[in-house]
Structure 1
Amino acid sequence: MKFRDGMWLVAEGKRLEYAEEVYSINETEDGKKLTLLCPTMQIRSRGDTLNRPTLTVELEAAMDDVLSVQITHWHGALNKGPHFDLFPSGRPTVNANIQKTEKGTTLSAGNLSATVSSTPHTFDIRFHNKTNTHKLTSLQNRSVGLSYSPATSSPMQTSDMRNINHHILTQSTLSVGEQIYGLGERFGALNKVGQAISLWNADGGTSSEQAYKNIPFWMSNRGYGVFIDAPERVELEVGSERCCRVQTSVEGQRLKWYIIYGPSPKEILDKYTTLTGKPGKVPSWSFGLWLSTSFTTEYDDATVLSFLEGMRARSIPLEVFHYDCFWLRAFHWCDFIFSPAHFPDPASSISKLKASGLMNKVCVWINPYLGQASPVFKEAAEKGYLLKRKNGDIFQWDLWQSGMGIVDFTNPAAVEWYVGCLNKLFDIGVDSIKTDFGERIPSKDVVWFDSSLDPEKMHNYYAFIYNKVVYEALQKRFGKDEAVLFARAATAGTQRFPLQWGGDCESTFEAMAESLRGGLSLGMCGFSFWSVDIGGFEGTPDASIYKRWVQFGLLCSHSRLHGSNSYRVPWLVDNDDETEQGCSAVLRKFTQLKCRLMPYLYSTAMESIKHGLPVSVRAMAIEFPEDKTAWLCDQQFMLGESLLVAPVFDESGGVEFYLPAGKWTSFWNDEVVEGPKWVKETHKFDTLPLYVREGSILILGKEGEMRTTWDWTKDVEVKTFFPNEKSSFKLVDPDNKNLATITAVKEGDEWKVKGTDALA
Structure 2
Amino acid sequence: MKFTEGMWLLREGIQIDWMNHVERASIANKTVDLLLAKTQRHRGDTLNSGTITAHISSPQQDVIGVKLVHWDGGVDQGPHYEIKNDLAAEVHIQDSNKEQLYYSSGSMSLDVTTATNQLGFRYSSPKGKLTGHSFRSLGYVRDQSTSKSHYEDGMFMERQGYMLAALDVGVGEKLYGLGERFGPFIKNGQSVDIWNEDAGTSSNLAYKNIPFYLSSAGYGVFINHPGRVSLELQSERTTRVNISVAGEEIEYFIIYGATPKEVLKRYIQLTGQPSLVPAWSYNLWLTTSFTTNYDEQTVTGFLDGFRERDIPLGVFHFDCFWMKSFQWCDFDFDSDMFPDPAGYLQRLKERGLKISVWINPYIGQASPLFKEGKKHGYFIKRVDGAVWQWDLWQAGMAIVDFTNPEAVRWFSKHLERLIDLGVDSFKTDFGERIPFNNVQYHDNSDPARMHNYYAILYNKIVYEVMTNRFGKSQGLLFARSAAPGGQQFPVHWGGDCESTFEAMAESLRGGLSLMLSGYIFWASDIGGFEGTPSPALYKRWVQFGLLSSHSRLHGSSSYRVPWIYGEDCSEVLRDCTRRKIMLTPYLLGEALDGSRNGTPLMRAMFLEFPEDLNTYAIDTQYMFGSNLLVAPVFNEEGRVTFYVPHSGDDDTQGKWRSWFDYSKTYESGRWYTETHGFDTLPLLIRPGSITIVNSRLERPEDDALNGLELLVNGSIVGQKNIEIVDPSKTHEVLKIVHVTSAPETLDKIKVDEAGIKITQLE
TM-score using structure 1 length: 0.95
Change beyond 3 A, Cα 1:156–1:48: farther
What's 2:418 paired with? 425
Instruction: Give how far 1:758 is off.
Output: 5.2
- Contact conserved, 1:62 with 1:109, CA < 8 A, in 2? no
Identify the match of residue 711 of structure 1 among 679, 690, 703: 703
What's 2:670 paired with? 677
Within 5 Å, give how 1:205-354 maps onto structure 2: 205-354=200-349
Identify the match of residue 499 of structure 1 among 491, 502, 513: 491
1:638 aligned onto 2:623: yes
Q: Aligned residues: percent identity? A: 48
Within 5 Å, give how 1:140-159 maps onto structure 2: 140-150=134-144, 159=156
Change beyond 3 A, Cα 1:225–1:155: farther
What's 1:553 paired with? 545
Change beyond 3 A, Cα 1:155–1:81: farther
SS at match of 2:439: coil
SS at match of 1:531: coil
What's 1:687 paired with? 680
What's 1:193 paired with? 188
- Contact conserved, 1:39 with 1:55, CA < 8 A, in 2? yes
Deviations 1:144-186 (A, max 9, x none): 011111168999967454xx21100111000000111000000
What's 2:526 paired with? 534
Identify the match of residue 596 of structure 2 among 587, 610, 614: 610
Within 5 Å, give how 1:619-658 maps onto structure 2: 619-658=604-643
Instruction: Give how far 1:193 is off.
Output: 0.3
Distance 1:482 1:394 in 2: 36
Gaps of 5+ in 1: none
- Contact conserved, 2:717 with 2:746, CA < 8 A, in 1? no
Deviations 1:619-666 (A, max 9, x none): 111101111111111000111111000000011000001111132111
SS at match of 1:98: strand
Identify the match of residue 410 of structure 1 among 399, 403, 406: 403
Distance 1:153 1:716 in 2: 73
Instruction: Give how far 1:724 is off.
Output: 3.0
1:369 aligned onto 2:362: yes
Which amino acid in 2 is paired with 1:51?
N
Which amino acid in 2 is paired with 1:106?
Y
Q: Quick check: 13-22 or 694-703, which moved more? A: 694-703
Deviations 1:502-536 (A, max 9, x none): 00000000000000000000000110111110000
Change beyond 3 A, Cα 1:758–1:257: farther
Distance 1:564 1:634 in 2: 27
- Contact conserved, 2:194 with 2:228, CA < 8 A, in 1? yes
1:178 aligned onto 2:178: no
Within 5 Å, give how 1:389-468 maps onto structure 2: 389-451=382-444, 453-468=445-460
Deviations 1:689-730 (A, max 9, x none): 000111110121127x43212222121221111133375532
What's 2:31 paired with? 33
Deviations 1:281-329 (A, max 9, x none): 1000000000000000000111111111110111111000000000000
Identify the match of residue 471 of structure 1 among 459, 463, 472: 463
Instruction: Give how far 1:197 is off.
Output: 0.3
What's 1:48 paired with? 45
Which amino acid in 2 is paired with 1:7?
M
1:489 aligned onto 2:481: yes
Distance 2:43 2:394 in 1: 63
What's 2:760 paired with? none
What's 1:596 paired with? 582
Distance 2:218 2:150 in 1: 43
SS at match of 2:136: strand
Instruction: Give how far 1:251 is off.
Output: 0.3
1:22 aligned onto 2:17: no
Deviations 1:40-90 (A, max 9, x none): 2x2121222111111111211222100101111111122320000221xx6
Which amino acid in 2 is paired with 1:65?
D
SS at match of 1:421: helix
Distance 2:365 2:150 in 1: 49
Identify the match of residue 746 of structure 1 among 729, 737, 742: 742
Distance 1:157 1:708 in 2: 70
- Contact conserved, 1:603 with 1:733, CA < 8 A, in 2? no
Identify the match of residue 118 of structure 2 among 119, 122, 129: 122
Instruction: Give how far 1:217 is off.
Output: 0.5
- Contact conserved, 1:542 with 1:573, CA < 8 A, in 2? yes
Distance 2:155 2:298 in 1: 65
Instruction: Give how far 1:746 is off.
Output: 2.0
Change beyond 3 A, Cα 1:455–1:673: same
What's 2:759 paired with? none
Gaps of 5+ in 2: 757-762
Change beyond 3 A, Cα 1:158–1:659: farther
Distance 2:272 2:372 in 1: 35
Identify the match of residue 67 of structure 2 among 67, 70, 84: 70
Deviations 1:366-405 (A, max 9, x none): 0000000111011111110001001111000000000000
Change beyond 3 A, Cα 1:266–1:113: same
Instruction: Give how far 1:743 is off.
Output: 2.6
SS at match of 2:86: coil
SS at match of 1:347: helix
1:757 aligned onto 2:753: yes
- Contact conserved, 2:302 with 2:561, CA < 8 A, in 1? yes
Instruction: Give how far 1:749 is off.
Output: 3.5
Distance 1:247 1:153 in 2: 28
Distance 2:71 2:11 in 1: 23
- Contact conserved, 2:22 with 2:115, CA < 8 A, in 1? no
- Contact conserved, 1:43 with 1:121, CA < 8 A, in 2? yes
* Count of equivalent residues: 740
Instruction: Give how far 1:338 is off.
Output: 0.3
Distance 1:312 1:36 in 2: 68
Instruction: Give how far 1:603 is off.
Output: 1.1
- Let me know the Cα RMSD of the aligned residues: 1.6
Distance 2:685 2:755 in 1: 22
Change beyond 3 A, Cα 1:759–1:198: farther
Which amino acid in 1 is paired with 2:50?
P
Instruction: Give how far 1:744 is off.
Output: 3.5
Which amino acid in 2 is paired with 1:472?
E
SS at match of 2:141: strand
Distance 2:755 2:454 in 1: 46
Distance 1:541 1:494 in 2: 31
- Contact conserved, 1:202 with 1:212, CA < 8 A, in 2? yes
Distance 1:118 1:331 in 2: 63
Identify the match of residue 569 of structure 1 among 561, 574, 577: 561
Which amino acid in 2 is paired with 1:388?
K
1:544 aligned onto 2:514: no
TM-score using structure 2 length: 0.95
Instruction: Give how far 1:263 is off.
Output: 2.1
Within 5 Å, give how 1:91-102 maps onto structure 2: 91=86, 93-101=88-96
- Contact conserved, 1:740 with 1:755, CA < 8 A, in 2? no
- Contact conserved, 1:697 with 1:728, CA < 8 A, in 2? no
Change beyond 3 A, Cα 1:92–1:615: farther
- Contact conserved, 1:724 with 1:744, CA < 8 A, in 2? yes
- Contact conserved, 2:717 with 2:743, CA < 8 A, in 1? no
1:168 aligned onto 2:159: no
Instruction: Give how far 1:755 is off.
Output: 3.5
What's 2:509 paired with? 517
Change beyond 3 A, Cα 1:714–1:34: same
